[in-house]
Every structure is written in C-alpha cells, then in structure tokens.
Amino acid sequence: MTRVRAVALSTAVLFLAGCSVPLPTPAPDALPAAMQPAMSVEQAEDIVAEVSASLADADAALSVDVPGPRVTGPAATIRSFQYLLVTAGLADALTVIPSGAQTLVLPTTDEWPRTVMVVTEPPEDLQAPLLLTLVQTEPRAPYQLWSWVRLFPGVQTPALAQPELGSAPVAPDAPELAVSPTEVLAQYVDVLTNRDASPYAAAFTADPLRQGIAQTKDAFVAVVGANGSLTETYQPDAAGTYSMATADGGAIVVGTVRTVTTITLVDSTLKIGDQTAAILGTDTLKSSLAITWLSVVAFAVPPVGSDAPIQVLGAEHSRIEVTGA
C-alpha cells in the first residue's frame, strides 16, 4: 500500500515538474562585432527636422543673441550676426538651410561628443547644397547645428558609407589621415597667410574661399593705399574641428578659420559697402575699421599614404563682428 502510494506520489511530482515552466531570463543580442550607427536613419531625419524647425522658430524671433537651442558653435555665431543684418535691414542675409537631407553621415560610436553630417537638398534659390554638421556634446544634450557649409559648385564629395552602416568619427589628431584634422587647419591657415609661398600651397586644391579672401584683402589694400595701413590675420578658430571618415579611409574635416581685418586710416575717409555699412550704420569711415570673419571650411582629406591633395569642399565665410569709426 505504501509502495503504491509512493509510486503515485512520485508520478504526481514528476507530472507537476513537467508542467512547471522555468522563468525566462533576459537573452539580449550580443554586442555586434562592428560598431553600429548610433542612430537610425529615421532618427537622424527626425533630428534634422527638429533642428530645422527650431532654427526656423529662432529665425522668426530674430533673437539676436540666441539662434535657438538647436544651434551652437560657429553656426550660432554666424546666425546671430545674420540676425543683426536682418535687423539692420538686409532681409536676404539669412542663409537658407533646407530641412531635407540628401546624404546622411551617421557616427558609429557609443561615446560623446557625437557628430552627424548632412548634405541637404539643394536650396530653393538653386544654390549649392549645404553640408551641415550636427553635434551632440553629451548624452543629455540635444543634437545641435554646429556649422553649415555651402558646397562649392562642381565639387564632388568623396564616397561616403551608407548611413545604415555608419561612418566612424575621426579624432582631431587622427593618425589614419594623410594630415590630421588639426594639422589640416593649420596648413590651410598657412596657405591663406602666405599664399603661394606657403609650403602647403600645393597640398590644397584651389578653392573659391582662398581666392575670395585674397581678393578681398587685395581690394582693401588697394583702397587704403597710402592713406593708412591694413593688416589681416588668420588663425584656426578655437571651436576646433569635427571629422567623419569617408569610404576610402579618408575623412571630411570641418574646421573654422578666424580672419581679422584691421584698417587704420590716416587723414582720410573710407567708403564701405553693404553689410559692414549696415552694421555700422554709416558708409563712410574716418579713422578705423575692424572686421572679424569666421570661415567654416570643409576639407576632404585623403587617407594616410595618399599623395592626393586635400580638397576644399565648401565654406561659409561670414563677418561676425564689425567695428569702425
């Protein structure tokens, strides 16, 4: 009898044991061997749209000091000045920044700061598309527009990895490039300063920005002539550089150059035009003029070991400060 009972009991226990299901435990996907983009294309598009919307609000408000929460760095500086210009009556001073993205360069990283580069659709005024650089400085910060660059006409950007694969961010002192981003800026400044005498003149392709800066300086020099003195200095901006790897192992480097033009007049007057005059409120200066320019420049830097020249993809050159009397 006890045996029968024991058998029945063990059978019941086995039955119940068979019925009970063990608690499921978390089984997360393994960390991928290759770093994945930090965001999806949809997320990136949302971010671009958010930035664009925020910028549009700021543009409407024309709040000179604050171009909105989504703009930072050189972009904020330039935008603020553009608001000043608009306020001064130059309604077309605002750079139109399209909200549509043509190409996304998404970072493969899990660290901060994170950088996203965007080639926009061509603006409505049939100008060249813009290259936007968005930066998230830390996890709890939003992505902000750090800079925009007008791509030069006829320029061809290097091949970029698909956004689904992502592009590796490149550190300012990255050794895998023919020239590190920081060094690129320094060399470019040297070229601006010394022009063809610079040892790096041949390292860069000719570009409209360099031509334009030279022409502007030459023009001022010609105007001022013997009636005064003119000095112009170039230096890499403290804002630094942001770089994203391209498909060929090179990188797109975005950096800023600060140009300061100082004119001192001796017993003479200087006729100035458009923007400077608008800011200063007068078109005739009697003693001095100081203009600070901020140039955002985008370079395509070849990978290490390549003899190809550094290509200047585009630039945004804007006054950011004007003083004169």
DSSP state of 107: B
Rule CB under 8 A: say whether 68 interacts with other proteins: yes
Tell me how many residues contact other proteins (CB under 8 A).
34
Applying CB under 8 A, which of residues 23, 91, 126, 222 lies at the interface with other proteins? 23
Residue matched to tokens 């230096």? 235
Residue 76 makes CB contacts below 8 A (sequence gap 6+) with: 67, 145
Residue matched to tokens 């063809």? 196
- Name the percent of the chain in helix, strand, coil, to the closest 5: 30, 30, 35
User: Candidates 62-70, 87-95, 153-161, 241-249 — which segment interacts with other proteins by CB under 8 A?
Assistant: 62-70
**Whole-number Å distance between alpha carbons of 65 and 241:** 23
Find the binding residues for other proteins in span 112-131 (CB under 8 A).
112
Applying CB under 8 A, which of residues 16, 33, 124, 138 lies at the interface with other proteins? 138
Sign of the torsion angle spanned by Cα atoms 82, 88, 93, 94: positive
Whether residue 250 contacts residue 158, with contact meaning beta carbons closer than 8 Å, is answered with yes
CA atoms within 13 A on the CB side of 36: 8
Rule CB under 8 A: say whether 283 interacts with other proteins: no
Q: Which of 203, 207, 242, 204 lies closest to 109 in space, CA to CA?
A: 242
**Choice between 29 and 196, CB closer to other proteins:** 29
Rule CB under 8 A: say whether 19 interacts with other proteins: no
Rule CB under 8 A: say whether 87 interacts with other proteins: no
Residue 298 makes CB contacts below 8 A (sequence gap 6+) with: 131, 149, 151, 252, 253, 254, 312, 313, 314, 315
**Whole-number Å distance between alpha carbons of 72 and 132:** 12
Minimum distance of other proteins from residue 3's CB (angstroms): 25
Rule CB under 8 A: say whether 240 interacts with other proteins: no
User: Candidates 66-74, 214-222, 225-233, 267-275 — which segment interacts with other proteins by CB under 8 A?
Assistant: 66-74
Rule CB under 8 A: say whether 32 interacts with other proteins: yes
Minimum distance of other proteins from residue 140's CB (angstroms): 4
Rule CB under 8 A: say whether 50 interacts with other proteins: yes
Applying CB under 8 A, which of residues 81, 83, 143, 200 lies at the interface with other proteins? 143
Minimum distance of other proteins from residue 252's CB (angstroms): 21
Rule CB under 8 A: say whether 66 interacts with other proteins: yes
Minimum distance of other proteins from residue 90's CB (angstroms): 22
Applying CB under 8 A, which of residues 18, 89, 139, 281 lies at the interface with other proteins? 139
50-76 as b/e: b if 16+ CB within 10 A: bbbebbeebbeeeeeeebbebbbbbbb
DSSP state of 309: P
Binding site for other proteins (CB under 8 A): 23-29, 31-32, 36, 38-40, 43, 46-47, 50, 57, 63, 65-66, 68-69, 76, 110, 112, 136-143
